[in-house]
């Protein structure tokens, strides 16, 4: 039987990130490698300050690595200029942060639609996505409210809708439910995963919460900047896990 050609959505190779202090150098990410298949859900766990969020930011092109390569959908973002990278992010990636990071002067609806004004797709392509997200996330009653007029859970739902409105292929989530109580966290996460699954999107999530991480296809652990595979729930019989 011929071996299946694996399509990777994200490939990180030998990523190093260091912070220079007056008398020392702190290595936040130390030769981290990861390959994530299209449609896969990968979680990175680790203690505070282990470098997991830094690694996520580098993967998303939000931060610059000192060394290493990042490829998203086979395009090397580490070689891209800032404008090219910006456009690429708008097309291919979606972000969900621990804090909602909504733009304060725009309403929930406007925040959700913000990514659409940065891409040159036809209006109609967003209408269906918007309807679906608003309905699914239960935001229809709060669309014309400013972020300061919404609860934390509602803001986070808006942030998820904003991350998904462009239907990006790659989703990055940095502790997306870290600021929410358990009930809200479960609710928001299940909605996120449901939509992701329906759309077949790839998700790389950083979390403290093992209960959340356990829903991932694979779990990595970041420890002092070193990334290691922790658990492979689908390895062996479904997919091959490459470790470096």
Minimal distance in Å, beta carbon 156 to other proteins? 13
Looking at residues 152 to 181 of the shown chain, list those that interact with other proteins (rule: CB under 8 A).
162, 166, 174-175, 178
Residue 151 binds other proteins (CB under 8 A) = no
Only segment of 1-9, 108-116, 196-204, 210-218 that touches other proteins (CB under 8 A): 108-116
- Cβ proximity to other proteins: between 110 and 186 the closer is 110
Least Cα distance to 40 among 75, 70, 10 occurs for 10
Minimal distance in Å, beta carbon 45 to other proteins? 14
Cα dist. 106→60, 76, 141, 144, 147 in Å?
25, 33, 16, 9, 8
Residue 109 binds other proteins (CB under 8 A) = yes
Residue 21 binds other proteins (CB under 8 A) = no
Cα–Cα dist 85/61, whole Å: 7
- Cβ proximity to other proteins: between 91 and 186 the closer is 91
Residue 20 binds other proteins (CB under 8 A) = no
Q: Looking at 79, 131, 144, 182, which residue binds other proteins (CB under 8 A)?
A: 144
Instruction: State the burial class of residue 13 (Cβ atoms within 10 Å of its Cβ: 0-12, 13-18, 19+).
Output: middle
The beta strands (E) that lie in the chain are given as: 8-20, 25-37, 41-45, 67-72, 75-76, 93-96, 170-174, 202-206, 218-223, 226-232
- Cβ proximity to other proteins: between 125 and 240 the closer is 125
- Cβ proximity to other proteins: between 178 and 235 the closer is 178
Cα–Cα dist 129/58, whole Å: 28
Q: Are 47 and 60 in contact (CB under 8 A)?
A: no
Sign of the Cα pseudo-torsion (151, 185, 125, 83, in order): positive
Residues in touch with other proteins (CB under 8 A): 48-49, 53-54, 57, 60, 62-64, 82-83, 86-87, 89-91, 95, 97-99, 101-110, 113-119, 123, 126-127, 143-144, 146-149, 162, 166, 174-175, 178
């Amino acid at each position: 039987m011929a071996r299946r050609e694996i399509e990777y959505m994200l490939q990180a190779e030998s990523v190093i990130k260091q912070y220079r202090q007056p008398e020392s150098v702190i290595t936040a990410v130390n030769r981290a490698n990861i390959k994530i298949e299209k449609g896969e859900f990968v979680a990175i766990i680790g203690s505070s300050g282990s470098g997991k969020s830094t690694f996520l930011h580098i993967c998303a092109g939000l931060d610059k690595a000192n060394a290493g390569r990042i490829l998203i959908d086979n395009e090397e973002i580490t070689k891209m200029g800032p404008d090219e990278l910006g456009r690429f992010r708008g097309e291919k990636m979606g972000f969900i942060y621990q804090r909602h990071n909504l733009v304060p002067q725009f309403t929930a609806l406007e925040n959700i639609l913000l990514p659409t004004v940065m891409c040159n797709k036809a209006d109609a392509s967003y209408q269906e996505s918007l309807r679906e997200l608003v309905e699914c996330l239960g935001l229809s009653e709060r669309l014309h409210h400013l972020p300061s007029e919404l609860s934390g859970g509602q803001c986070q739902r808006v942030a998820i809708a904003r991350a998904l409105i462009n239907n990006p292929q790659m989703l990055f989530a940095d502790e997306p439910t870290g600021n929410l109580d358990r009930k809200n966290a479960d609710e928001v996460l299940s909605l996120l995963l449901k939509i992701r699954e329906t759309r077949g999107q790839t998700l790389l999530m950083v979390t403290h919460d093992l209960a959340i991480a356990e829903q991932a296809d694979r779990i990595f652990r970041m420890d002092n900047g070193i990334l290691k595979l922790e658990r492979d729930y689908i390895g062996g019989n479904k997919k091959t896990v490459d470790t470096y």
